[in-house]
Amino acid sequence: MITFYGVIGDPIEHSLSPAMHNAAFDALGMDCYYGAFHVKGRFLYEAVNGARCLGFGGLNVTVPHKEIIIRFVPADETSHDIGAANTIDFKTNKAYNTDASGAIASLRDNGVSVKGKRVLVLGAGGAARAVTYGLLKNGAAVTIANRTAPKAADLAAYMREYGDVFGTGMDNLKEKVAIADVIINTTTVGLNEGETLVTADMLNEKQVVFDLVYRPVETKLLREAKLAGAKTIDGITMLVRQGALSFEVWTGVKPPLDAMERSARDAV
Ligand code: NAP
């Protein structure tokens, strides 16, 4: 019998997750199907319980439900610490967060270890929470720079028990970029073609620039980083890895990353 999986969010129509997960199920010959479901906040509880009652294997949870979901699905340690989850497994009836390890895996698979490195995280929203947690747990010293400085300070205060982290505004960004080994954009800047917070003149060839924005795949930030000779990592790299980790939570099987990545890049 077919086992169903899916992603719930609002909006959801542009999600790349169905293409990615169905490619992995096909490659492994598994009798499973993954869909995208538009779920408004007021129906979140009913949607999750409905999926459980219908025998779904699991769900991904995306914006804007990642924080609220852990109020009624028990959180594992990582999603509890981060304060948000992106994966529900109905076998264990637990919520997990694979964004943090997906970000770390993206760096690792590109030969980047963050242990002892100075990492500048641009942004202090939901993605920054998971990325900062992953970085701190892996021994990085993190500066969070956000347009709304108090949000960066709040996030840093929340994360301080996990490591060396400081929150600040976007002022003097050139100096903040100059002293970073790794720069990670977790803001939405870059979704609009031609926008970037950091330009080539601020970067050098020893740095790593990782942009979580995946639409467009090659953002202006990544083009600027390449001009400066920096190593670049795009948002699809992380999307695929966080998805692969969810797949593993549900099925216990490591999915073929190459098939997932190809389908995500084709779909975008
Ligand atoms: P969010 O919670 O809404 O946070 C948005 C962040 O962007 C905030 O820090 C906000 O600053 C900042 N921002 C927005 N407009 C800005 C501007 N004009 N100048 C400077 N900063 C600005 O969003 P999110 O859920 O963290 O997602 C952020 C991005 O990451 C999205 O593009 C999302 O698709 C991407 N993402 C990718 C992956 C992946 O797997 N590749 C995973 C998760 C998220 P303020 O606080 O000042 O408003």
pLDDT classification of 123: cutoffs 50, 70, 90: very high
CA distance 106 to 243: 12
The answer to whether 1 and 31 are in contact (CB under 8 A) is: yes
Report which protein residue has its CA nearest ligand 1's atom 36.
212
Q: Is the CB of 79 under 6 A from ligand 1?
A: no
Smallest CA-to-CA distance from 87 within 56, 60, 67, 127 is with 60
CA distance 99 to 81: 13
Tokens (6 digits) for 5: 């999986």
Is 66 catalytic? The answer is yes
Q: What is the model's pLDDT at position 76?
A: 97
Q: How many angstroms does the Cα of residue 124 sit away from the middle of ligand 1?
A: 8
Q: What's the pLDDT tens digit per position in 145-190?
A: 999 999 999 999 999 999 999 999 999 999 999 999 999 999 999 9
3-state SS string over 226-260? HHCCCEEECHHHHHHHHHHHHHHHHHCCCCCHHHH
Tokens (6 digits) for 3: 């086992």
pTM: 0.96
Q: How many angstroms does the Cα of residue 92 sit away from the middle of ligand 1?
A: 31
Q: Is the CB of 123 under 6 A from ligand 1?
A: yes
Task: Provide the β-strand partners of residue 36.
Answer: 7
CA distance 232 to 207: 9
Q: What's the pLDDT tens digit per position in 191-241?
A: 999 999 999 999 999 999 999 999 999 999 999 999 999 999 999 999 999
Q: Is the CB of 122 under 6 A from ligand 1?
A: no
Q: What is the model's pLDDT at position 38?
A: 98
Q: What's the pLDDT tens digit per position in 5-57?
A: 999 999 999 999 999 999 999 999 999 999 999 999 999 999 999 999 999 99
Mean pLDDT value of segment 77-104: 97
Report which protein residue has its CA nearest ligand 1's atom 43.
127
